Structure 1
Amino acid sequence: MQCLDLDGVLLNDPLLAQAGSNLFEVIRSNSSLPADMRELIILRVVVLTNATYAWLQHEPVARMAGLTTEQLLVVRLAPPFFPEQGFNFTSILGSDLVAAMIFTDWITKNVYVPDNVFDGLRPFLNDSQLVEAVSTAASYNLGCRQMVALNVDAQMDVPVPIPV
């Protein structure tokens, strides 16, 4: 497929046009999630869907939200469902961001999120924020899949960069 501009895709998507505003701006601007967790969720969806364009847009935002290069390396390089493979990144991410990353792996790869995964997030988020975490991951799964499928900014075949 030819390269398409993201704004053109979003502005011409009748579903998003009906929403009356940019879905992603609403998710980012109105979220009560901790900023580092919100950006980790977004970037993990980006990695799992190979949406390079979105990584290039969100890595600077994630850094402004407080994520370090070491944390971004974990988000970028850890395999999906990393705890099941024996990896423990709590010393780098902290328990809250590990729980968010496990949640994001589940919702992105399987859609269904088991209760024990939600229970891992509960110590860090209230019920409303849990819904926001789902909305953030779900909306970015939509957006990233659109970006990759429509080859936004000719990034479809370009791997997500490794942070430096």
Structure 2
Amino acid sequence: MPRIPYPSPENLSPVVRERLAGNPPNVTRMLVGASEPVYLGFGALAQGLMKGSPLDPKLRELAILRVGYISNCKYELFQHEPFGRFVGLTDDQLAAIKAGDAASPSLDEQQSAVLRFVDDIVLNVRPGDETLAGVRAFLSDSDVIDLIMVTGNYMTVCRFLETTGIEVDEDAIDWNAYTAAK
């Protein structure tokens, strides 16, 4: 049972209520409790990061999963471990991400740099100059900014999930359907 109750659909605007059609995941059921501008704005940011950013999906999922592991956020990991596999991360890479093992032979140099960068952002807020330079050696400045936004967004998501006590869904999101939808 969540620590904050899921909002009642009859208390929501028609625009927001429409988003609840079709049995959405529990995170969506709770997010609709935010004010409408916050809910819609957050959704636009999340969609931009997941579907609009040119950042390599493997690197995006590496960042999301690392934030989830550091945050010990079961819901986030339940949803994104399958998506990490969907975009091509291997079990060995997932184990390295979980352990924070940037030296793992399962990670290439770019993935190792991203893992160090995400750890530095989450644990220190301001990454060190060397860590930032390490990731900039592989990514455009635009991709670095997207990576920062993904990391920060999922720090927010994990804190939202853990604070509200959202229950893990029975099934993970159908990532094939999600990626096919506009």
2:69 aligned with 1:47: yes
- Do 2:92 and 2:106's aligned partners in 1 also have CA atoms closer than 8 Å? yes
1:1-164 map, 5 Å:
1=3, 5-14=26-35, 16-17=38-39, 19=41, 21-78=43-100, 88-89=103-104, 91-153=105-167
User: What does the per-residue CA deviation read over 1:55-78, in whole Å, with 9 as the maximum and x for residues that have no partner?
Assistant: 111111111211000000111123
User: What does the per-residue CA deviation read over 1:7-50, in whole Å, with 9 as the maximum and x for residues that have no partner?
Assistant: 13211223632517343222111111111111000000000111
Count of residues paired in the alignment: 147
Return structure 1 stretches of 4+ with deviation > 4 angstroms. Answer: none
Calculate the TM-score normalised by the size of structure 2: 0.74
- Do 1:96 and 1:124's aligned partners in 2 also have CA atoms closer than 8 Å? yes
Q: Point out where structure 1 has 5 or more consecutive residues left out of the alignment.
A: 156-164
Q: CA deviation at 1:104?
A: 0.7
Q: CA deviation at 1:99?
A: 0.6
Task: Give the aligned CA root-mean-square deviation in angstroms.
Answer: 2.0
Q: Which has the higher contact order (CA 8 A, sep 6+)?
A: 1
Please give the alpha-carbon distance, in whole angstroms, between the structure 1 residues aligned to 2:42 and 2:157.
16
Q: What is the identity, as a one-letter code, of the residue corresponding to 2:162?
A: V
Q: What is the identity, as a one-letter code, of the residue corresponding to 2:138?
A: F
- Do 2:110 and 2:138's aligned partners in 1 also have CA atoms closer than 8 Å? yes
Query: Percent identity, aligned pairs only?
Result: 27
- Do 2:74 and 2:168's aligned partners in 1 also have CA atoms closer than 8 Å? no
2:179 aligned residue: none
Calculate the TM-score normalised by the size of structure 1: 0.81
